[in-house]
Amino acid sequence: MPEIAVVTGAGSGLGRAIARRLGAAGFAVVATDIDHAAARETAESIPGSRSAEHDVRDAEQHRRIAREAAERGRVRVWVNNAGVLALGPAWTHTDAEIERCVETNVLGTMHGSRAAVEVMRDQPAGGSILNIASFAAFGAVPHLAVYAGSKHAVLGFTKSLNADLRNADSRIRATVACLDGTDTPMVRRHAGDPNAGVLWHRGRLLDPDDVAHRLVNALRSRRQVVCVPTARGLAAQLLGLAPALSLRLINAAARRHRA
C-alpha cells in the first residue's frame, strides 16, 4: 500500500517544491490547488501522483480529498501550504481582502489539519502534519498586519493541536514551519509595490527548493517549530520580545532595499 502525502497550494512556488521533494522521498503525492491546471502540472512531474482542485476555505473539500487519498493508501503526510499575502497598512484592505487572507491562511490550515487527523488517527504509524507559517508570526511587521495576524494564528493553532495530539497519546505529530521571505510567485507579484520592501528587508529571498528540502527533512525530527533559516528564526523570535527595536531595524532595512 503506497504512502500518501497531500500538499495544498501545490500548483506553484513552495507548494510545488515540497510536493516534488516528497515525491523524491518515495511518497505518492496528491497535489491540490484552487488552480487545478497548475496542480495537474505539478502532479504530472511526480511519478505515481495525482492532482485535485481544492479551495482550502471549504471544510468539506478537505474531507473529500482526505477520504480519496486514504482510499489509495496510508496518508502519512499532510502539508497545509496554501496561502495568500495581504500587503499594506491594516486599514487599507477591503473586507474581501481581509476575509480571503484569514479564510485561506487560518481556516484552510484548521480545516486541513482536522481532515488529516481524521484519516491518520487509526493508522498504527500515525502521520505528520506540516503547517506553513512565517517569521511574521513572531513579531511586529509593518505593512503585513493582516498577513502576520493570520500566521500568528497558524503558529498558535499548530502548537495547541500538537498538545491535543500528545494528550490523546496519538502518533500524529504537528509541525509549524516559520519561514523568511521565499522566492515564490506570490511574493514576486508584489515586487513593484512601495510597501513591499519589508519582504526583502533581509536581502536575497530564499530558494523554495532549498526550503522544501529542509522541511521534508524536518518531518523526520520531533521539532514542533522549524525555522528556515534557523539562525534568523531565533533572531526573529528574540526581536519579537522587543517590538520597538524590531520595527526600527525592519524599517531601516526596508529603506535600504528601496534605495
Cβ-based neighbours of 191, under 8 Å, separated by 6 or more: none
Segment among 16-25, 114-123, 183-192, 208-217 with least mean pLDDT: 183-192
Comparing C-alpha atoms, which of 255, 241, 220 is closest to residue 22?
Answer: 220
pLDDT at residue 190 in the model: 63
List, for residues 164-185, the tens digit of each pLDDT value: 999 999 999 999 999 998 988 8
Active site (catalytic) residues: 147
Cβ-based neighbours of 51, under 8 Å, separated by 6 or more: 10, 30, 31, 32, 33, 36, 39, 40, 42, 43, 44
| pTM metric for this prediction | 0.92
- What domains can you pick out in the chain, each with its CATH number? 3-258 (3.40.50.720)
Q: State how far the Cα of 162 lies from the Cα of 151, in Å rounded to an integer.
A: 17
Residue 151: pLDDT above 90? yes
- Three-class DSSP category at 60: helix
Q: State how far the Cα of 201 lies from the Cα of 85, in Å rounded to an integer.
A: 16
* Grid coordinates given for 55: 479551495
Residues in the chain: 259
Higher-confidence residue of 75 and 237: namely 75
Q: State how far the Cα of 3 lies from the Cα of 72, in Å rounded to an integer.
A: 9
- Within 45-196, strands assigned E span 50-53, 74-80, 127-132, 172-179
Q: pLDDT band for position 16 (50/70/90)?
A: very high
